[in-house]
Amino acid sequence: MKNCSDCIIYLFFSLFAGHKCLENFLPSAKECITTVLKGLETIAPLVRSVEETPEPISTEVKGTIPSWINGKFLRNGPGKFEFGNTHYNHWFDGMAMLHHFKIENGQVTYMSRFLQSDAYKKNSEKDRIVMSEFGTVAMPDPCKNFFQRFLSRFEMIEPTDNASVSFVKYKGDYYVSTETNFMHRVNPETLQTVEKVDWSKFIAVNGATAHPHYDPDGTTYNMGNSYGSKGALYNIIRVPPEKKDEKDTLQGAKVLCSIVPADKSHPSYYHSFAMSENYVVFIEQPIKMDLLKIVTCKLRGKALSDGIYWDPKQETVFHLVDKNTGEVSSVKYHTKAISTFHQINAFEEDGFLMLDLCCSDDGQAINNYLIQNLRKSGDALDEVYNTLCRAYPRRFVLPLNVTSETPTGQNLNTRPSSGASCVKVSKDKVFCQHEDLHGDDLHEYGGLEFPQINYNKCNTRPYRYFYGCGFRHLVGDSLLKMDLKDKMLKVSLWWGLLPGTTNLPLSEVPFFREHSRQMMYRHCYAKC
């Protein structure tokens, strides 16, 4: 069926799914372990435009869906990569397509719709790209004369409302989000676009992440930057759990606190943040944004992505914010230069905060996801993959009770349950060295990203298991389950299957197996 080519849903995954005293604690070399591969399968179908399927269609179920699995599975991602003769340059640029899988009584139905964003509607009306995206700058209107086209380069780029990153919830309503100041409220039953919502109408921020965190009572936390004449600020946002009126969206949202960047004209880029029971953890990493380049990108004929760069000379800093008071800890927790896009969990235990995240020793991965790279094949595709630095799950241990009496120059983490170290080096600085949350066997699967936990049960609490995607390709090609008790890895891998994708021609039944390749559990998928 042309409207949906072999749409795959992985039920298991989606539903469960220096300073001298530091010499003994610092790594001797960059820990960027790669697995050189040859003969990667093409992933070009991932970046082809597809048609929407606005009416539910039945699927062919391979295997048996357990009777207790009933619900709806919502996905979001790019689904259109060109308008007329103009095309996007980066995977992040494609127009948002919303996906809906309904699982009921052992059967699955599927539907999809394009988000009716202003970007989508304007591009469709003109049959060309008229709104710039992360990696693509819109060209001036060819119908304008030379002078008008020249003047248009001096206009600020209009922030996109192409919310293609994720589904999120605020006050019980479903939204799709990106990283600008715009979200769209959507109907989770029909996928119809209901309302465009602008963060800046409620609080002084110029955007927010697409990965908020939730307290058990429904209070939502997020982060967003603000930009003014004195530079940038990182802001912690809190949104109340309930509506006061049926039409409420972000009413009552507040900036809990603001954090000053190390360099106000070159703040860090961040995709998400971590949260424990009592703290928000902001990770200021060496992926930097050159604000001068960003505000002049249209004038220079460059995309926004041109203003983002990796500075390996800078350390990564963990900032702790008290969720109850909004107070920012005066103690800063440093580690070597790492990049992180997704955190696993964070929890407090015995006077320490355990911070688990997927991170890499390099921060240039975004640049590799150009559409021209993803459409390569053969040796050219292998070459792109083999330039990537893999991401691995790591734990950092942050001491919460650092005072003037705390000794310097020695490891404060004496707990036998973790091999991570944390050393006070000055009055308000602690240097942290991570513990690997994996064994050597993970290298075979290209590291781990897109981590998931049983959020309602385990978020902000001690936990045992997490799940993720292995990356023996530019996109995830396996499902991984990690047992933190013994760092035992279980893998679901079948060549040609890509977890979470919805537009690749895939086949066969995936299965869970031990690393020793002993079959453990069979799982099913739906094909439409």
Distance of alpha carbon 125 from alpha carbon 156, whole angstroms: 22
Q: Is residue 60 part of a domain?
A: yes
Distance of alpha carbon 263 from alpha carbon 265, whole angstroms: 6
Q: Tell me the per-residue pLDDT of 86-134, one tens digit each, with 9 for 90 and over.
A: 999 999 999 999 999 999 999 999 999 999 999 999 999 999 999 999 9
Residue 87 buriedness (CB in 10 A; 0-12 / 13-18 / 19+): middle
Dump strand ranges (E) for 240-391.
Answer: 254-259, 274-275, 279-284, 287-289, 308-310, 316-322, 332-335, 339-349, 352-360
Q: Tell me the per-residue pLDDT of 137-196, one tens digit each, with 9 for 90 and over.
A: 997 666 665 444 444 554 667 899 999 999 999 999 999 999 999 999 999 999 999 999
How far CA 452 is from CA of 365, 397, 480, 482, in Å, comes to: 21, 20, 10, 10
0.85 surpassed by pTM: yes
Model pLDDT, residue 10: 36
Report residue 386's pLDDT band, with 50, 70 and 90 as the boundaries.
Answer: very high
Q: Is residue 4 part of a domain?
A: no
Three-point CA angle 433, 434, 437, nearest 5° = 165
Stretch among 52-61, 156-165, 189-198, 435-444 having the lowest mean pLDDT? 156-165
Mean pLDDT across the chain: 86
> Would you say 342 is a known binding-site residue?
yes
Distance of alpha carbon 355 from alpha carbon 346, whole angstroms: 5
Report residue 17's pLDDT band, with 50, 70 and 90 as the boundaries.
Answer: very low
Model pLDDT, residue 228: 87
Model pLDDT, residue 34: 60
Sheet bearing 511-514, strands edge to edge? 448-452, 465-470, 478-483, 488-492, 511-514, 519-522
Token readout for 456 is 């309602």
Query: What mean pLDDT do residues 39-52 have?
Result: 89
Model pLDDT, residue 152: 52
Phi-psi region of 120 (alpha: psi -120 to 50; beta: other; left: phi over 0): alpha
Tell me the residue type at 218.
G
Number of domains in the chain: 1
420 Cβ partners below 8 Å, 6+ apart?
395, 396, 397, 413, 432, 433, 434, 435
- Nearest alpha carbon to residue 506 among 467, 466, 476: 476
Report residue 294's pLDDT band, with 50, 70 and 90 as the boundaries.
Answer: very high
Buried b (16+ CB within 10 A) or exposed e, 306-323: bbbbbeeebbbbbbbbeb
Stretch among 137-141, 243-247, 524-528 having the lowest mean pLDDT? 524-528
Distance of alpha carbon 404 from alpha carbon 153, whole angstroms: 54
How far CA 366 is from CA of 42, 163, 362, 369, in Å, comes to: 19, 18, 11, 6
- Nearest alpha carbon to residue 359 among 16, 30, 26: 30
Token readout for 374 is 């993803």
Q: Is residue 232 part of a domain?
A: yes
Taking the C-alpha atoms of 458, 462, 465 and 467 in order, what is their torsion angle to the nearest 10 degrees?
60
Query: What mean pLDDT do residues 443-465 have?
Result: 96
Q: Is the pLDDT of residue 507 over 60?
A: no
Q: Is the pLDDT of residue 308 over 60?
A: yes
> Would you say 523 is a known binding-site residue?
no
Q: Strand, helix or coil at 431? A: strand
457 Cβ partners below 8 Å, 6+ apart?
none
Model pLDDT, residue 156: 60
Q: Which residue has the higher pLDDT, 45 or 148?
A: 45
Taking the C-alpha atoms of 457, 458, 461 and 462 in order, what is their torsion angle to the nearest 10 degrees?
120
Model pLDDT, residue 501: 36
Model pLDDT, residue 255: 98
> Would you say 99 is a known binding-site residue?
no
Range of the domain at 206: 11-17+29-527
Stretch among 17-26, 240-249, 472-481 having the lowest mean pLDDT? 17-26
Q: Is the pLDDT of residue 291 over 80?
A: yes
Q: Which residue has the higher pLDDT, 318 or 416?
A: 318
Q: Is residue 420 part of a domain?
A: yes
244 Cβ partners below 8 Å, 6+ apart?
251, 252
Token readout for 525 is 């998928």
Buried b (16+ CB within 10 A) or exposed e, 399-411: bbebeeeeeeeee
**309 phi, psi to nearest 5 deg:** -145, 165
Q: Is the pLDDT of residue 30 over 60?
A: no
Report residue 230's pLDDT band, with 50, 70 and 90 as the boundaries.
Answer: confident
Q: Is residue 24 part of a domain?
A: no
Query: What mean pLDDT do residues 55-73 have?
Result: 92
Q: Is the pLDDT of residue 490 over 90?
A: yes
**307 phi, psi to nearest 5 deg:** -95, 5
Model pLDDT, residue 499: 73
Other Cβ atoms within 10 Å of 490 Cβ, number: 17
Distance of alpha carbon 347 from alpha carbon 396, whole angstroms: 11
Share of the chain above pLDDT 90, in %: 74
Q: Is residue 3 part of a domain?
A: no
Q: Which residue has the higher pLDDT, 43 or 436?
A: 436
Report residue 39's pLDDT band, with 50, 70 and 90 as the boundaries.
Answer: confident
Sign of CA dihedral 97, 99, 4, 472: positive
Question: Any bridge partners for residue 255, and if so which?
Answer: 237
Phi-psi region of 68 (alpha: psi -120 to 50; beta: other; left: phi over 0): alpha
Model pLDDT, residue 142: 60
Residue 325: CA atoms inside 13 Å, Cβ hemisphere, count? 6
